[in-house]
Amino acid sequence: MVIQLTPYAGLLGTVATAWGAVGAASSLLQARKLVLTQSAESTSLGFLAKYLGGYVAWALYGMAIGSTPLIVVDLIGICASGVTVVTALRVRHATTRTNDHQGGASPSASHTAAPNAAYPSPNATRP
């Protein structure tokens, strides 16, 4: 049995666009967390940059085929992801600068200072 969705195409398009817009804006939740905690240690800039790049690619595709819903959703994604990337970079820069002024190590250096028990050194003595 095949369900005919053609009569619902307008409604489905509206729902998909709204859902996509909310999803695209969701990276702002990460930006909010960055601002509140003033820590970007657990934030992957590589992931955020790839996320942003995906929105750029889809927006360009939407422009090429003239799809307004695709363009709108991806422009929201570009703006939200862009804000999140800039926020992460600013928090990392502020943290590094604060640690430098206090004579402390940067967050990335602190990870290499002590071995992690979950990932023992290859030179560690085995029981």
pLDDT > 70 fraction of the chain, expressed in percent and rounded: 77
Interval 49-62: pLDDT, tens? 999 999 999 999 99
Interval 45-97: pLDDT, tens? 999 999 999 999 999 999 999 999 999 999 999 999 999 999 999 999 987 77
Rounded Cα distance between 28 and 83, Å, is: 7
The β-bridge partners of 116 are: 119
Count Cα neighbours of 92 within 13 Å in the Cβ-side half-sphere.
16
Domain extents in the chain = 23-35+62-98
Rounded Cα distance between 26 and 21, Å, is: 9
